[in-house]
C-alpha cells in the first residue's frame, strides 16, 4: 500500500512538471517560406487580381519541397486580399485556394503555417494604417476569428501566424494588446490549433529580450502559443545583404549569437519558439557556414524554422532557393538546409 502511495505521488509530480503542449518534446520540422501571395504591394485595396497580379504557390512547388523532405511551409498572404473590406466576409477565391493548398499538403504529409504578412498594418483608403489607427484592434481580431472558423478542422494546418514582423506600433496600442485580442477571438472558434506570435521590432531574435519580453504574459486558454523570431546575418540584420561577407562584418557563429537572446528567453519562461525567417546569399561559401552553424544550434535547442525564401516568383532575388532550369538545378543553400529536416531532440 505504501509503495502504491509513493507511485501516485510520483505520477502527480510528473504530470505537473511535464509540458503538456503539443509536440513539446518531439522533433519539430524545418521548412521554407513559399512566397508569392504577398507580392506586388502597390496592388492592394481590392485592386490586385488573384492569379494575375499575385500568385499563390502551386502543387508543383509542394512536390519539389516534399522531394527534398522539407515538410513545413510558411505561407504568406495579405490581409487586404483575403478580406477586401474591413468587417467584410472573406474573399472566397483566396480562402478556398488556401484550403486547396492545405488539402494538397495533407496528401503529402506536409504542414502549412499561414502567415498574415502585414507588418502590423493594413491599407485603408489607399494609405497604410497601423493597427490601432483607423484600422482597429477589433478589425484585426475579428478577421482572425473568420479565418480560424474556415480552417480550424484541417489536419495539415500547423498554426495561425498572427502577423509578420510588427514594428513601430502605436504607444497607445502596443502589439501585446493587439495579439491578446486576436488570441481571444480565435479561441472562440478553435481551441486546438497553435497560434504563432511574432515579436516586436521586425520580430528580431537578437533584440527579443529588449523589445518583446512582455509577450511572455500573453494568455492562451489552450496553452498553445508559439513565439516567432527572425534572424539574418548581415550587419544591420535586415536580410538585404547589400555588401560582401567581409563588408557585412559576418563571422561563422553570428547566427548563434543573434538568436541566443531569443532562445534563452524561451528557456527561462518555458515557452516554445520558432524562427520564421532566415536566409543567406549563395555567392560566398562562408555564408553557408553561418547557416550551418545556426541551424545546428537551433536543432539542438529543439527550435525549428522556415528559410526565407522559396517561391517561383523571385527571379534573381539573392536569397531565393527556388530551383533553376525548370526545377532541374538546386540552389547551393539547399545543401545545408537538407541536413536539418527536423530538430534533434
Q: What is the pLDDT of residue 177?
A: 98
String of DSSP letters for 160-180: EE--S---S--TTS-HHHHHH
Bridge-partner residues for 131, per DSSP?
Answer: 135
Q: Cα separation of 331 and 345, whole Å?
A: 28
CA distances from 257 to 205, 284, 314 (A): 10, 20, 29
pLDDT tens figures, 94-150? 999 999 999 999 999 999 999 999 999 999 888 899 999 999 999 999 999 999 999
pLDDT tens figures, 269-306? 999 999 999 999 999 999 999 999 999 999 999 999 99
Q: What is the pTM of this model?
A: 0.92
Name the phi and psi angles at 207, rounded to 5.
-105, 15
Residue whose entry in the numeric block shows the C-alpha cell 497553435: 194
> Considering only CA atoms, which of 253, 261, 254, 145 is closest in space to residue 208?
261
pLDDT tens figures, 71-102? 999 999 999 999 999 999 999 999 999 999 99
> Do the Cβ atoms of 151 and 98 come closer than 8 Å?
yes
> Considering only CA atoms, which of 251, 336, 245 is closest in space to residue 299?
336
> Do the Cβ atoms of 186 and 144 come closer than 8 Å?
yes
> Do the Cβ atoms of 175 and 120 come closer than 8 Å?
yes
pLDDT tens figures, 255-273? 999 999 999 999 999 999 9
Amino acid at each position: 500500500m505504501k509503495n502504491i502511495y509513493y507511485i501516485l505521488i510520483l505520477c502527480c509530480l510528473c504530470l505537473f512538471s511535464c509540458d503538456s503542449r503539443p509536440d513539446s518534446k518531439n522533433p519539430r520540422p524545418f521548412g521554407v517560406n513559399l512566397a508569392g501571395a504577398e507580392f506586388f504591394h502597390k496592388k492592394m485595396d481590392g485592386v490586385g487580381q488573384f492569379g494575375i497580379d499575385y500568385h499563390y504557390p502551386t502543387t508543383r512547388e509542394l512536390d519539389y519541397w516534399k522531394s527534398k523532405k522539407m515538410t513545413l511551409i510558411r505561407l504568406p498572404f495579405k490581409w487586404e486580399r483575403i478580406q477586401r473590406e474591413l468587417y467584410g466576409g472573406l474573399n472566397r477565391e483566396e480562402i478556398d485556394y488556401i484550403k486547396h493548398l492545405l488539402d494538397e499538403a495533407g496528401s503529402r504529409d506536409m504542414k502549412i503555417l499561414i502567415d498574415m504578412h502585414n507588418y502590423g498594418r493594413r491599407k485603408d483608403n489607399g494609405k497604410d494604417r497601423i493597427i490601432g489607427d483607423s484600422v482597429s484592434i477589433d478589425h484585426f481580431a475579428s478577421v482572425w476569428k473568420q479565418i480560424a472558423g474556415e480552417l480550424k478542422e484541417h489536419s495539415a494546418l500547423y498554426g495561425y501566424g498572427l502577423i509578420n514582423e510588427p514594428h513601430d506600433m502605436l504607444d497607445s496600442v502596443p502589439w501585446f494588446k493587439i495579439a491578446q485580442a486576436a488570441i481571444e477571438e480565435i479561441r472562440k472558434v478553435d481551441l486546438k490549433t497553435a497560434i504563432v506570435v511574432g515579436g516586436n521590432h521586425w520580430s528580431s531574435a537578437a533584440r527579443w529580450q529588449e523589445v518583446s519580453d512582455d509577450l511572455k504574459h500573453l494568455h492562451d486558454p489552450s496553452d498553445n502559443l508559439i513565439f516567432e523570431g527572425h534572424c539574418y546575418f548581415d550587419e544591420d540584420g535586415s536580410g538585404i545583404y547589400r555588401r560582401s561577407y567581409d563588408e557585412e562584418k559576418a563571422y561563422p557563429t553570428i547566427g548563434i549569437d543573434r538568436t541566443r537572446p531569443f532562445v534563452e528567453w524561451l528557456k527561462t519562461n518555458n515557452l516554445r519558439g520558432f524562427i520564421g525567417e532566415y536566409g543567406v546569399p549563395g555567392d560566398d561559401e562562408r555564408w553557408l557556414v553561418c547557416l550551418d552553424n545556426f541551424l545546428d544550434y537551433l536543432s539542438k535547442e529543439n527550435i525549428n524554422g522556415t528559410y526565407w525564401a522559396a517561391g517561383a516568383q523571385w527571379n534573381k532575388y539573392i536569397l531565393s532557393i527556388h530551383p533553376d532550369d525548370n526545377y532541374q538545378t538546386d540552389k547551393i543553400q539547399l545543401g545545408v538546409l537538407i541536413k536539418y529536416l527536423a530538430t534533434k531532440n
